[in-house]
Structure 1
């Protein structure tokens, strides 16, 4: 009997807590923000009040009436579910509030103690703060995060141990991750240690790294264990002297590398261990952009880039040579503002190349032999070009041709 009365008293107290939470300003504001009808909220409050009134009587009757006891037991289950639901609503309300502040620019940092939102599943942006309760360790208990997460202001992470507290490697449901420094710390060793400890789960599909200030990337970047990685981007990692072995990533389809001024050569390390499998076996799009100090590209010529459909090399003014040869699946080739590049188109393009864009590349020879599949040809800003190749007339599938050769008053057609 005593146990039944204690259980009933607990249930009555829980109902009162639910009623108080429903009446709170935070809940009411969130409820209205979702454009729900206030009548529904009033009806729910009346229902809880009614239950509280009859509960006192039911607590005594359940001792002698099995049907009443069953009703009380069912009510307990419903109350527990309602409490869980209100927890989820409170979590969602705080998440919306934090993201609204971030996107509006009214707050440079996240809400304090995000770690309390242990059931959080969607957090698109996290700005690392300097104060306690705003650091990257607040991500520690958010094990259920899904889809995309962008972590910025990583310069505020003071050491690798702090970065490890984020426990990114345990967040198995994340698909996309952005890691961004907003300013340099002038401590390349520390930044490398931080990035090393920010190793994500191998389920990750997309990764972007921006403004990293280390001279070397950690070993996990490019490791073949990341077999689900399909898209990868490195931007403005200006002090790095070499690229990771991205050729080992078996599912990688899209790779973009831009503004990496420490790179003077793309060498063997870019491909990884080619004795195990063909490098870049799934890569379809490869982009190099604004690599101002890049001079040479080492090509293995062992079947790499076998599925590459699009190659872009843009604003690489010191690049001399070494573009891939005879890319069998290449559909689109774009070379812009690579003034020192020496190459022949017929050595790069495959039989299926349909679109070709050249701009500011006087060292590239326009031999069109083997390019009968071309449907679009743009030639821009090539003042030293005296005449178009005699093979141009063999491009019987050409539908768009835009010669725009600045610096010359005339152009000779053979």
Structure 2
């Protein structure tokens, strides 16, 4: 599927390529060698220069002036004809007749005879077009600079790739139009619909062979085999951009290596790709190679010959050719990000030095990966290799993975890396000491994980010998320690000498550090987010953090939450406690007056929520900030505040698995005017709602395994809830044989869920009659349900009925050969779609695509 070229910006890039080709030694020498008239090139150059200057003006005017649009279309056609001709001259001259004839050029002699004639035709066409610009009133700067170096590419990287005007979009497969598009420059495999239509699989492969002018071929996500197409791809001699990403391709065929003009090759996220062509080094114009997220384990030899390569996503070091890492040294134009994988296979540190990473000023992100199975008997050898891989100080992001040394080289942490903003050290299983990183002046993110041997972090981490400006980690904003099973102590250097530590730190994450019991940093003035997970030995003081807004504590049993957070009482907005703080028995809600979200999960000794201010039912001090409250698996929890929850802006209340709780908050109907969501799960001791019932603005009410409470549903007065849209009930509820009762639910309901009612036999149609807004009904795991009831039909608004694990209902419907519903409804029973005809009430099997034209229902038993 292709996109239409939209104007001057891209056409200007084509002009730049043309002008560069005209000035290239290859084209000049070809014409000189064949004794052709050099004046034609000069004439072509002058015409292009004269037209180039008005492209911007034309691009703006084409929107309102059809004549200018038509002029641009003609110009594009002529420019592409010139590009085709010069491209062919350039390729023949650079690579020779013997090689180019292999990929099906016209015969050498006939081509020589036609060049001058073709060029005169193109110039004549361009001259005529150029004269029209004055009549159209197009103006602009007629000057243009000819590129002094090979331009990056006229192909737009990424998703915005355009083609010439006679390219067509294919919302449906129109092969007649495809057959006529011999001048097609761009073919894109796109997924614009759901489910996606794979255009590539619909197009006869021989059609591709006729598209000899293709510059861009993108087959992203194409299903099926690409081998047949790629085997003949050498015939697309003008191809500059090829993308086979997200396909099932296993290897790239050698024929690709004859595409001498190819500048971009993408084969990313190909989970079966294991091999690159042996002659990859022949793609001397290749500038962009993306082979990320593949199964490759080695690079072809002689990759150093790809002198034009600017973007290389991954480089794999293999056992068979371990010295290949040195070939990176010849790729002097690399930029952006590079991942070097399987460094464990590097035998000699001198080979690592040959990679010359220190000289690559334009690489801004590097990943060094020793490999998942990496191991070593000589840690000094690994350190020497990493020493020789020292990058340029322009580096912005560095990740080191599966490193098998015990220590890091001195360059890591050197203050000369003043551009470094992100550093990750992951799965360094033998390292017992961290590098000195505290003096990296602009480091903002530091992630350290899976150091199995590290026991203590001390002064070496900060670099105490050079406390620049009396600060350690002066710019660090995010610090993560994860998966450190042996880490016991964190010793903080410099604080006693007056040095500031982590002055800009915003986020601190301590996760899965089960032995850590030493002090945390004492003062973090900028900290807003603290996360501690599975650090069950931490019992010391939390940092003083007056700006902290979010605290997440998970499986940290010994933390004393209230005592430790005095300093951030008025800044904390989100507090989540999971299976932690086991000494906490009572939580005073007004301790954090600006708290917006509170989650308490598995706090085994928590008994109550309280407010410290005196309360009576007539006078309550409002907690206006709290928006969301969840109490979950607190089995000793028995009380909300005596007079109710004074939280006028509370929108969500979830009470789950609190086996001893006997009542919901009092005065819900008045104290919780903003409550939109209420969930009450597995609270068997709750027998009734508080006086006054439910809040009037409630939109969603879900009740699960609260049989005592559900037994009094007729007292809830739910029909008065003018905003209720979603009601869900789950549990045995053994006394319920028919549901819902007439008048129980409000007419505003749009979704009804019924699950696990062990004795439910009938869905009461009368109870559904007034639900004029109901759209979806779900009935799950009601093993005795056998009838949809009598005396009515489903509401006409209902468009979705899902019934799962209700075997008796399925048997009854199969026996009677029709369901007890009327109207124009479609039904799913297992994997068969059935439509109920409104006039004849007959069952008839339909195709899946028919279903989208009808209301439909689903009935399943698995």
TM-score, normalization by structure 2: 0.39
Match of residue 9, structure 1, among 15, 33, 39:
33
Matched, 1:210 2:274: no
Structure 1 residues 46 and 144, CA, compared in 2 at 3 Å: closer, same or farther? Answer: farther
Aligned to 1:393: 590
State the Cα distance separating 1:166 from its structure 2 match: 0.7
Residue of structure 2 equivalent to 1:123: 312
2:489 — aligned with what?
296
Aligned to 1:37: none
Q: How does 1:287-366 map to 2 (within 5 A)?
A: 287-300=480-493, 301=495, 302-345=499-542, 348-366=543-561
Partners of 1:152 and 1:104 lie apart in 2 by 12
Could you say which residue in structure 2 is the equivalent of 1:51? 115
Q: Which residue of 2 aligns with 1:410?
A: 636
CA 229–87 in structure 1, closer or farther in 2 if over 3 Å, else same? farther
Aligned positions of 1:43-122 closer than 5 A: 50-51=114-115, 93=262, 96=265, 101=273, 102-103=291-292, 105=294, 107-122=296-311
Task: State the distance in 2 between where 1:174 and 1:5 align.
Answer: 36
Mapped partners of 1:5, 1:285: distance in 2:
58
Q: 1:24 to 1:251 in 2, by over 3 A?
A: farther
For structure 2, the residue ranges without an aligned partner over 5 or more in a row are 1-27, 37-88, 120-145, 155-236, 241-258, 274-290, 606-634, 642-862
The secondary structure found in structure 2 opposite 1:177 is strand
For 1:370, what is the secondary structure of its paired residue? helix
Q: Of 189, 199, 213, which residue of structure 1 is paired with 2:380?
A: 189
Deviation at 1:151, TM superposition (A): 0.3
TM-aligned CA deviation for residue 113 of structure 1: 1.4
CA contact (8 A) 2:528 2:547 kept: yes
Alpha-carbon distance change, 46 to 228 in structure 1, aligned in 2, over 3 angstroms: farther
**In 2: Cα distance, 1:236 partner to 1:6 partner:** 56
Does the Cα contact within 8 Å between 1:297 and 1:323 map onto a contact in 2? yes
Whole-angstrom CA distance in 2 between matches of 1:141 and 1:87: 27
Give 1:317 deviation, angstroms: 0.5
Structure-to-structure mapping, 1:173-184, within 5 angstroms: 173-182=362-371, 183-184=374-375
TM-superposition CA deviations, 1:182-237 (whole Å, max 9, x none): 12133211111110100000000000000100111000000111111000000011
* Distance across 2 between alignment mates of 1:271 and 1:224: 12
Q: Tell me which residue corresponds to 1:160.
A: 349
Select the structure of larger CA radius of gyration.
Answer: 2
Cα separation, 2, equivalents of 1:230 and 1:81: 32
Q: Does 1:377 align with 2:377?
A: no
Alpha-carbon distance between aligned partners in 2 of 1:241 and 1:283, rounded to the nearest angstrom = 23
Measured after TM superposition, the shift of residue 105 of structure 1 is: 4.1
Q: Is 1:275 aligned to 2:467, yes or no?
A: yes
C-alpha distance in structure 2 between counterparts of 1:111 and 1:193, whole Å = 26
Residue-pair matches, total? 369
Distance 1:290 1:155 in 2: 23
Distance 2:239 2:399 in 1: 30
Deviations 1:48-83 (A, max 9, x none): 76336799xxxxxxxxxxxxxxxxxxxxx99x979x
In 1, the alpha carbon distance for the partners of 2:474 and 2:405 equals 29
1:171 corresponds to 2:363? no
Q: Is the 8 A contact 1:309 1:329 kept in 2?
A: yes
Mark the runs of 5 or more structure 1 residues left unpaired by the alignment: 29-40, 56-76
- Measured after TM superposition, the shift of residue 410 of structure 1 is 1.5
Post-superposition CA distance 1:11-47 (Å, at most 9, x none): 789774358577664xx9xxxxxxxxxxxx99xx998
Tell me if 1:258 matches 2:455: no
Query: Is the 1:113–1:134 contact (alpha carbons within 8 Å) kept by the matching residues of 2?
Result: no
- Quote how far apart the aligned CAs of 1:164 are: 0.6
Please say if residues 292 and 313 of structure 2, whose CA atoms lie closer than 8 Å, have aligned partners that are also in contact. no
Structure 2 SS opposite 1:193: helix
SS of residue in 1 equivalent to 2:566: coil
Distance 1:97 1:23 in 2: 26
Pairwise CA distance, 1:106: 5.8
Larger RCO: 1 or 2 (CA < 8 Å, sep 6+): 1
Residue 68 of structure 1 is matched in structure 2 by none
Deviation at 1:411, TM superposition (A): 4.2
Q: Relative to structure 2, which stretch is displaced further, 138-147 or 180-189?
A: 180-189
The CA RMSD measured in Å over matched residues stands at 3.6
Do the aligned partners of 1:112 and 1:133 also contact (CA within 8 Å) in 2?
A: no
Alpha carbons of structure 1 residues 136 and 92: separation in structure 2 relative to 1, 3 Å: farther
Would you say the 8 A contact 1:381–1:404 is kept in 2?
yes
Is 251-260 or 8-17 further displaced after alignment? 8-17
- C-alpha contact 2:445 2:477 (8 A) present in aligned 1: yes
Change in 2 beyond 3 A, CA 1:398/1:211: same
Looking at structure 2, the residues matched to 196 and 292 of structure 1 have their Cα atoms a distance apart, in angstroms, of: 27
Q: State the alpha-carbon separation in 1 of the partners of residues 34 and 323 from structure 2.
A: 36
Aligned partner of 1:226 among 410, 417, 420: 417
